[in-house]
Amino acid sequence: MIDILYFAWVRERIGLPKERVETSAPTVMALVEELRAREERYAAAFADLASLRVALDQELSSFDAPLAGVREVAFFPPMTGG
pLDDT of residue 78: 87
Half-sphere exposure of 46 (CA within 13 A, CB side): 20
Q: What is the pTM of this model?
A: 0.93
Q: Give the 3-state secondary structure of residue 30.
A: helix
pLDDT of residue 61: 97
Half-sphere exposure of 23 (CA within 13 A, CB side): 26
Burial class (CB in 10 A: 0-12, 13-18, 19+), 76: middle
When pLDDT is cut at 50, 70 and 90, the band that residue 79 belongs to is confident
DSSP code of residue 36: H
Share of the chain above pLDDT 90, in %: 94
Give the model confidence (pLDDT) of 4-42 as tens digits. 999 999 999 999 999 999 999 999 999 999 999 999 999
pLDDT of residue 80: 63
